[in-house]
Amino acid sequence: MTDLGESRALSVSDSAAELEAIYVDLHRNPELSFAEHRTARVGAEALRAAGCEVTTGVGRTGVVGVMRNGAGPTVLLRADMDALPVHEQTGLEYASTATGTDPGGNEVPVAHACGHDMHVTWLIGAARALAASRGRWRGTVQFVLQPAEELGDGAAGMIADGLFERFGTPDVAFGQHVGPMPAGEVFTRSGLIMSASDTLRVRMFGHGGHGSRPETTVDPVVMASSTVLRLQTIVSREVAATDSAVLTVGSLHAGTKSNIIPAEAELSIDVRSFDETVRRRVLDAVHRIVHAEATAAGADRKPEITAEGTFPATVNDESTTEAATARFREHFGAQRVFAAPLVTGSEDFGVFASAAGIPSAYWFVGGTDADRFAASAEAGTLDSDLPSNHSPLFAPVPHPTIDTGVATLVVAATGVLTSH
């Protein structure tokens, strides 16, 4: 086992209560993408208290804390901060009742349904731990609190705001995510680990009129409905069985009243892929089908298809990931470190490494009560019983999730900072 006992901040008895209080506070007070003002303030104050040089407002609401400890390599540790427009239904005493304004100007419920509150807590815990164990490592740590991961714009925004020019280019970057796996367990994977993602907004135009006289209209509701059904054939009929892709129509909006045929309909489409050739095939098929359905319906105006967001695939550097995995096994024991599957979720963490030209590693930390997970696994009901990220029921158990995520960041960082 790696000797981390010298770091008081890694002691569960010393730090767990304080970190859990931070986690509960963040969970109660979620904020949407690029609105993470309170979250950024909490993180900045905690990093400053840990001895970091702190800069706020990086990439709008991002925070960078720099901890210097002599000559040596520079390690970037990243946590995302934003929450989701979700109405929390966990029933927890500290469940969110917050609301916020979405990009469309609508008031929406807000909740940390993806666990970014846990990520911020981990980063604060890691800063405290590394500050308390300065005698065991040398170099510099950049603690990055990133906004707007859910939009895919946060990492790029911080980079565009001079992240590396202002704070230096790191030698390696580490990131992690909480997931619906047993709390206390860690999941790593070399190479490709998370899919690419594309979000499209489609407007389909018809000709409105009275519901009693459909013959005088071009019905965009029927047009959009046919499009949704046809889009489902892309993966089943245009992607090889040996390849993989996911296409979801997440929203369809049209009309205001039962007896009014509207003039247009709007669809939001999400595409996930692991291979660039497959990605291009799926996106081309979406464009072909949307336009063909409009033509088939007799629309006299072509649809509008707007790309609203793209996440690159997350690809881990092999040697960096293998080294971190070995350290995790040494610290936690092999019985708590597992191979991660390919994940169809998407991330913008890899943008940091790509822009800096450095290696990176990204992994998952379980956040589900281990006994509950085991019972569901035995019953064969994992998918139906256990809430996953973005569910209104998703909320990691504080312990041992907090302690494990702090330790993974510290173990990965010190492995680099003590090896030079």
114 marked ligand binding residue: yes
Peptide bond into 400 cis (omega under 30): yes
Is residue 362 a contact partner of residue 211, using CB atoms and an 8 Å limit?
no
Instruction: Give the residue among 288, 286, 292, 251 at the shortest CA–CA distance from 272.
Output: 286
Taking each continuous run of H as one helix and of E as one strand, the counts in the chain are 13, 18
Is residue 112 a contact partner of residue 30, using CB atoms and an 8 Å limit?
yes
Instruction: Give the residue among 181, 176, 160 at the shortest CA–CA distance from 120.
Output: 176
150 marked ligand binding residue: yes
Burial class (CB in 10 A: 0-12, 13-18, 19+), 388: middle
Is residue 344 a contact partner of residue 272, using CB atoms and an 8 Å limit?
yes
Whether 82 is catalytic is yes
Per the structure block, which two tokens stand in for 261? 């045929």
Per the structure block, which two tokens stand in for 219? 């019905």
Catalytic residue among 117, 149, 153, 219: 149
CA distances from 302 to 11, 20, 225, 250, 383 (A): 62, 53, 17, 22, 40
CA distance 350 to 86: 26
Please state the φ and ψ torsions of residue 142, each to the nearest 5 degrees.
-100, 115
Half-sphere exposure of 316 (CA within 13 A, CB side): 26
116 marked ligand binding residue: yes
* DSSP letter (8 states) at residue 302: -
Catalytic residue among 31, 36, 80, 82: 82
Q: Degrees (nearest 5) of the Cα angle 195, 196, 200?
A: 130
Whether 149 is catalytic is yes
Q: Which residues are catalytic?
A: 82, 149
| Residues contributing to the annotated binding site | 114, 116, 150, 177
| Residues contributing to the annotated binding site for Mn(2+) | 114, 116, 150, 177
